[in-house]
A and B are shown apart, each in its own frame.
Chain A
Amino acid sequence: VGILGNVQQTTLEVVYDVAGGKLGFAPGGC
């Protein structure tokens, strides 16, 4: 598998809606 690691996730707000079956991204999370 490819793996999206934590360096690439920096500063993004990463949202896990596990029940809704979706993953969200928003810029400028911190």
Chain B
Amino acid sequence: RRAIESHYHTVEISSLLPASVCSPSTKGHSKRPSTLKVFHRHGPCSKHSQDNATPSLDEILTHDQSRVDSIQHKINLNAEMDKVKDKKAALPVQSGRALGSGNYIVTLGLGTPKKSLSLIFDTGSDLTWTQCQPCARVCYKQQDPIFNPIASTTYSNVSCSSTRCSQLSTTTGNDPSCSTKTCVYGIQYGDQSFSIGFFSQDTLTISSSDLVPKFYFGCGQNNQGLFGNTAGLLGLGRDSLSFVSQTAQRYGKYFSYCLPSSSSSTGHLTFGKSGVSSNVKFTPFAASRGTSFYFIDIVGISVGMTQLSIRPSVFKTPGTIIDSGTVITRLPPAAYKALSTEFKKQMKKYPSVPAYSILDTCYDLSKYTTISIPKISFTFGGNVKVDLAPSGILIVINSSRVCLAFAANSDASD
């Protein structure tokens, strides 16, 4: 009995629902230098939660699918470009990255004196940008005052002739342009959201004792799309202009985060090795396609006591990335089918209900206060087994619809 119980989570339904008041985490944050508090964009810990434009879960999942489509497109494009390079030919390149609903935000300081900005943090993109006055074309409404470069004594524009300006081609997928000798960036995401503006440098403040001088970022003059009321985006990808690369000397390309289990609690984003848990298990990054994404290898999935029968090539052929900006994990169709089939089998005592958006395995748990759900574990390369938290297994749509929080890619080659 004890062995069986160790393969199940006993979950109070109420614990899956966000509370109306913020309960900050006592772990991680404030114990270490270079640590930022992470909170959900639409929860009570965020000052953005009062935003009237808070999307429904259905809208979030629709945006999530736009982001996923765009990631697939970008990686396929990289594969095509690799073929092109082999052939020493050239094709026109179009950038495509959906921002969708980035969901988790951190607050940083920019400029001198510093101005606080709430940015979506994203391991699936590279360029850090914020909306800038005078908003020559369009700025969307944001919660923080829009950054005014004229008011910062440490702000400068980047010249068109600088090496950093030319690096924008890989960072954004678009060649930079030039306006009165100032480098102009343009980044467009797969859902047609975009930011265009001056490529700039200024001091970025992580904490009162931790400043990054001459940080390269986009000072957006024309920003439109699904950015909510945030001030922009913090790019934590692998490319040369990402925050991670720009601060390599300071933090050694090492960062960690914890995303809270509900929108009413907080997590942390920490730069540098200091204070990382001693019980971390590491999996090697897999060979990357493109310069941005973090690839890892999934080698197996278990549900409760059952190890799913999935051929290694199902994961190996398309590959897998980890992304803080995608909401729902996408699995190859064969892997998802095995997962959902076994999950349904072990959840058969609970009444099922119709699909919701991209989520097709849903239950009516309104008559229960406590449920027992099978643990789901992922095994990554290097035999690293990771148990998902209950919040990583089920997502609550409403009191009568709770769904398995996974979805399938539409094509095995995605």
Contact = CB atoms under 8 A, between A and B. Distances in A.
B280 interface: yes
B284 A22 contact: yes
B320 A11 contact: no
B324 A9 contact: yes
A11 B391 CA distance: 8
A29 B392 CA distance: 14
A5 B329 contact: yes
Most chain B beta carbons < 10 A, residue from A16, A22, A27, A30: A30
A7 B284 CA distance: 22
Contacts of B252: 19
Interface stretch (B87-95, B165-173, B264-272): B264-272
Contact of A3 (B261, B330, B392): B330
Interface in B228-272: 236, 238, 244, 248, 252-261, 265-268
A29 to B, nearest CB: 3
Contacts of A14: 256-259, 322
Nearest to B28: A30
Contacts of B261: 10-11, 30
Interface residues of B, number: 76
Interface in B286-311: 293-296, 298
A30 B298 CA distance: 24
A30 B268 contact: yes
Contact of A29 (B254, B277, B380): B277
B254 A8 contact: no
Contacts of B256: 13-16, 24, 29
Contacts of A25: 280-281, 283, 380, 384, 386
A21 B27 CA distance: 26
B222 to A, nearest CB: 28
A4 B280 contact: no
A4 B329 CA distance: 5
Most chain A beta carbons < 10 A, residue from B64, B261, B321, B329: B329
8 contacts: A1-B414, A3-B71, A7-B405, A10-B259, A15-B276, A17-B282, A29-B258, A30-B265
